[in-house]
Amino acid sequence: MSIPFVRRWTARRTVEKTVRRGRFDPPVSRFWLGCSGWSYNDWVGPFYPPGTPPGEFLERYARVFRSVEVDSSFYRIPAPTLVRRWSEVTPEGFRFALKVPRDVTHPSPGEDAQAVLDRFLESLRPLREARKLGPVVLQFPASFQAREASRLEGLLTAVPEDIALAVELRHGSWWTDQTRRLLETRRAALVWSVIPATEPPPWVTSEFVYARFVGDRALTRFDRIQRDRRAELAAMRERFDHEGRSATAVFAYSNNHFMGFGPGTTALLAEVLGEPRPDLAAAQRVRGQTRLAGGEAPFAGSNSPREGDSRTGSD
């Protein structure tokens, strides 16, 4: 990384602040539930209607869920025209959470990480203007350890405070009072990840909580629920109810790898939380149609990734 993270992003503040206590408070529920991505061909059949072109995936996804975690931004900065399209095809009140590019969190020697971060934040302007930007996520590798605390502190400073920030740390050396104070000072949420080989403490270091149900890489097809992990969903509900009770908003996203089918996992999570179960069939209907004529579509799918997601994503 060629330039230390010692300055704040200085782009012109033309929109209302994103982070403010109560900003994410929905009218009925504090839970923003969704999937890690929306563009999987394996979902065509069990979630999207057979023959659905990829360009319709997001609009149909947003009929069912009101938030999504974008994984593709981890690999490349999304073009502003693409981000504007995301905003246009989703309803008012929808929220996007996006991963910060890996060139920021996993920099190569000589990488101008600050410039990458600035371009990424600027690309999100259409979502900010539409009030559809949720948290951005700094996802660090398991090799990132607390001895690099100065780099973490620099990144926390580099992301402007009017953007909600979540931080995923995986190495156990981070579970210290010093780390907690760093996150609290920035009001950045520690990501509560459900992932092998790590167990983040249930700290609430921001006005919101951010949880990710990740799983492992054993599953390779994502067209149906293949594992029963209700116990882990229930354990997270206990965290939300107890340690997370002060949070005004809870963002929680299900990866396909966790149970085999992101939409089904998120629907089950809503049920475990006592929230209304999402109507997965809504993604298959023609606009204005109240129910499917032939019942639920059979499970089917193929294996190619599309824009907005990645089959072999960063998790």
140-184 pLDDT, tens digit per residue, is 999 999 999 999 999 999 999 999 999 999 999 999 999 999 999
Looking at residue 303, its pLDDT comes to 31
Least confident of 39-53, 168-182, 248-262, 284-298: 284-298
Inter-residue long-range contacts of 282-288, CB under 8 Å, 24+ positions, other chains counted: 282/63, 282/64, 283/47, 283/48, 283/49, 283/60, 283/61, 283/63, 283/64, 284/47, 284/48, 284/49, 284/60, 285/63
| Tokens read off for 77 | 């900065």
Q: What mean pLDDT, rounded, does the chain reach?
A: 87
Looking at residue 1, its pLDDT comes to 41
Looking at residue 166, its pLDDT comes to 98
Question: Distance between CA atoms of 204 and 127, rounded to whole angstroms?
Answer: 26
- Residues 166, 196 contacting (CB under 8 angstroms): no
Beta strand spans in 37-99 (E): 67-70, 95-99
Distances (CA, A) of 194 to 111, 191, 197, 198, 203: 31, 9, 9, 8, 14
Would you put residue 45 in left (φ > 0), alpha (ψ -120 to 50) or beta?
A: left
Domain definitions of the chain by residue range: 31-283
Q: Could you give the dihedral angle defined by the CA atoms of residues 183, 187, 188 and 194, in that order, rounded to the nearest 10 degrees?
A: 80
Looking at residue 172, its pLDDT comes to 97
Categorize the per-residue pLDDT at 6 as very low, low, confident or very high, splitting at 50, 70 and 90: very low
Residue 224 clears pLDDT 90, i.e. is over it: yes
Looking at residue 184, its pLDDT comes to 98
Residue 293 clears pLDDT 70, i.e. is over it: no
- Residues 314, 102 contacting (CB under 8 angstroms): yes
Residue 136 clears pLDDT 50, i.e. is over it: yes
Looking at residue 111, its pLDDT comes to 74
pTM for the full model? 0.86
Q: What is the CATH number of domain 31-283?
A: 3.20.20.410
Q: Report the pLDDT averaged over residues 123-142.
A: 97
